[in-house]
């Protein structure tokens, strides 16, 4: 079976899952992050080398202050509480996005976890926090302009070196749970030739078997890259 080198994950549907169960929507987020940890383990065991998960988008700042605060604390807890597990399992953790917008304690947690896992290589786990595809592209453009790079020297390879995903393999498989069928401003440049897979299941219900079903579908795809 052909295993994707880099999976991009939309862990969507946490709030809808909670509402349908009569629970507070914040409980859905908690269940979703717990499932994300399991998902990373499933991916590692199947030979996936890179996993990038959408944790908090640039648009999510528009949600209620209560929800934003909860998500920031949950992300911090997720990083710190699992530090020993990441290191034990050989998982290298990295955060992409607008770090300067994050609470100071979360920024400190990011630095701590990234530094502690920087030599691991079994799985590269990337959390996209305060991330948006349009922001990523515009940020790269600004950096290129600030560097004074002549227009004629700007090509795809150079441009990609300024994206927040620089150094990572190009995503080849995007999995979105929750029943929605769109990219929602995530890795817009990087997803140019990625295979897309949409699951109707809300993310908290997405299982190891569902991953295997998705991987079987990826194995059937003929990737021609426009040729």
67-91 pLDDT, tens digit each: 999 999 999 998 999 999 999 999 9
Q: Which of 75, 41, 55 has the alpha carbon at shortest distance from 211?
A: 41
Q: What b/e sequence results for 87-121 when a residue is b if at least 16 CB atoms lie within 10 Å of its CB, and e otherwise? A: bebebbbbbbbbeeebeeebeebbeebeeebeebe
Closest CA to 15 of 129, 174, 180, 134: 180
Give the residue-averaged pLDDT of 4-25.
Answer: 96
User: Which pLDDT score is estimated for 168?
Assistant: 92
Q: Is the pLDDT of residue 5 over 80?
A: yes
């990038």: which residue's tokens? 52
- Find the catalytic residue in 34, 60, 89, 119: 60
Does the annotation mark 38 as catalytic? Answer: no
- pTM, two decimals, is 0.94
> How much of the chain exceeds pLDDT 70, in percent?
100
Q: For residues 14 and 32, is the Cβ–Cβ distance under 8 A?
A: yes
- Give the model confidence (pLDDT) of 114-163 as tens digits: 999 999 999 999 999 999 999 999 999 999 999 999 999 999 999 999 99
Active site residue 126: no
Average pLDDT for 156-179 = 96
- CATH code at 6-132+171-220: 3.40.1180.10
Residue 111's pLDDT is: 97
What pLDDT score does 80 carry? Answer: 94
Task: Please give the pLDDT value at position 145.
Answer: 97
Q: Count other C-beta atoms under 10 Å from residue 181's C-beta.
A: 9
Q: So what's the pLDDT on residue 222?
A: 81
């Amino acid at each position: 079976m052909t295993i994707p080198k880099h999976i991009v994950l939309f862990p969507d549907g946490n709030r809808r899952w909670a509402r349908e169960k009569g629970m507070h929507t914040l409980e859905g987020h908690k269940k979703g992050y717990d499932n994300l940890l399991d998902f990373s383990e499933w991916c590692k065991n199947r030979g996936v080398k890179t996993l990038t998960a959408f944790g908090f988008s640039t648009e999510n700042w528009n949600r209620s202050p209560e929800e934003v605060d909860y998500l920031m604390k949950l992300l911090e807890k997720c990083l710190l509480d699992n530090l020993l597990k990441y290191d034990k399992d050989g998982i290298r953790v990295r955060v992409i996005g607008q770090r300067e917008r994050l609470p100071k304690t979360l920024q400190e947690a990011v630095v701590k976890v990234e530094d502690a896992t920087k030599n691991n290589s079994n799985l590269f786990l990337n959390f996209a926090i305060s991330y948006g595809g349009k922001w990523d592209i515009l940020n790269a453009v600004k950096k290129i302009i600030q560097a004074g790079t002549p227009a004629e020297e700007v090509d795809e390879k150079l441009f990609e070196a300024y994206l927040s995903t620089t150094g990572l393999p190009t995503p080849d498989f995007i999995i979105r749970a929750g029943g929605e069928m769109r990219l929602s401003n995530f890795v817009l440049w990087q997803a140019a030739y990625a295979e897309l897979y949409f699951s109707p299941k809300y993310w908290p219900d997405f299982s190891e078997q569902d991953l295997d079903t998705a991987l079987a579908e990826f194995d059937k795809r003929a990737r021609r890259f426009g040729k």
